[in-house]
Structure 1
Amino acid sequence: MKKSLILFSLVVWLTSCACEPEDIARIAFSGMENIMGEGFMPSEEIRAMGEFQGMSVNLGQSSVNGEVESTIFLRLENGDPKILDRQPEVLARKCAEIYLSGFEKSVDYQKITVQFVQTDPSNPENIAMQEYTFDVTDF
């Protein structure tokens, strides 16, 4: 009962306030970082490096020959093609380095995969992706 009252109050506050959508998103992201660890959400420095329109992070685990391997997937969407065409692997490595330096739980992962995703504005189902994987211990 107490949890539902708190949730209801939060929903009423969010729908009734004259907050900017960015403020609401910032509140949600700060709550997520409290759970996932400081620096979980990619920084604006990464966005600026490739002028990315979207960024997201997924954490995954897979089993290879009985050993569990955990990976951070850093997805960077619709960056400036001029920037991405010049040495994309160097850009991916720099984005990985910046992300890992800010994410406090990065030591819990063995790999980081940086994905550059470009979508066709006239046909969103048409997607191109470049993917670069690095060992976390290299940073």
Structure 2
Amino acid sequence: MRSRLCLFLLTFSLFSCSCEPETIARFAFSGMEAMMGEGFMPSEEIRALGKFQGMSVSMSQSTTDGETESTIFLKLENGDPLALGGQPEVLARKCAEIYLRDFERSIDYQKITVQFLQSDPSNPQNIAMQDYTFDVKDF
């Protein structure tokens, strides 16, 4: 009951706030970066490279036969087809390079996977995906 009351008060304060949603989002992102490390959120430099409409990042850790492997997944959505061009692997490598340069805890990970996701404007459930995986130590 107490947690419901706290959740209600938090929700009420967020929705009754007269500040702009961008301010709340910036506050949330800064909190996330404080927890995950500086540069966790993909930079606008990456967005500009491919004119991506959406960007997100997630981390994964798996253990196989006692060996732990950690991976960064950089998801870049609905980029400009001309920017992706005939060599999307070159763009993927450049995006990985910029992300790893900016993320202060990138050395804690062994691999980075850059995913290009393109959705069909007339049917958003049709999605094309290209994955490019690189070893972090190569950057």
User: In the alignment, residue 126 of structure 1 is paired with which amino acid?
Assistant: N
User: In the alignment, residue 23 of structure 2 is paired with which amino acid?
Assistant: D
> For residues 33 and 6 of structure 2, what CA distance do their matches in structure 1 show?
20
Equivalent position of 1:75 in the other structure: 75
User: In the alignment, residue 36 of structure 1 is paired with which amino acid?
Assistant: M
User: In the alignment, residue 15 of structure 2 is paired with which amino acid?
Assistant: T
TM-score (norm 2): 0.89
Q: CA deviation at 1:6?
A: 7.5
> For residues 65 and 80 of structure 1, what CA distance do their matches in structure 2 show?
41
User: In the alignment, residue 65 of structure 2 is paired with which amino acid?
Assistant: N
> For residues 22 and 57 of structure 1, what CA distance do their matches in structure 2 show?
19
Aligned residue for 2:94, secondary structure, equals helix
Aligned residue for 2:70, secondary structure, equals strand
Equivalent position of 2:117 in the other structure: 117
User: In the alignment, residue 72 of structure 2 is paired with which amino acid?
Assistant: I
Structure 1 range deviating more: 89-98 or 9-18? 9-18
Q: Quick one: structure 1 residues 36 and 4, their matched pair in 2 at CA, closer, same or farther if it must change by over 3 Å?
A: farther
Q: Quick one: structure 1 residues 7 and 31, their matched pair in 2 at CA, closer, same or farther if it must change by over 3 Å?
A: farther
The number of residues matched between the two structures is 139
Equivalent position of 1:17 in the other structure: 17
Q: Quick one: structure 1 residues 125 and 5, their matched pair in 2 at CA, closer, same or farther if it must change by over 3 Å?
A: closer
> For residues 89 and 68 of structure 2, what CA distance do their matches in structure 1 show?
26
Matches within 5 A, 1:3-82: 10-82=10-82
> For residues 99 and 7 of structure 1, what CA distance do their matches in structure 2 show?
34
Structure 2 unpaired stretches of 5+: none
> For residues 4 and 64 of structure 1, what CA distance do their matches in structure 2 show?
40
Question: How well do the aligned residues superpose, as a CA RMSD in angstroms?
Answer: 2.1
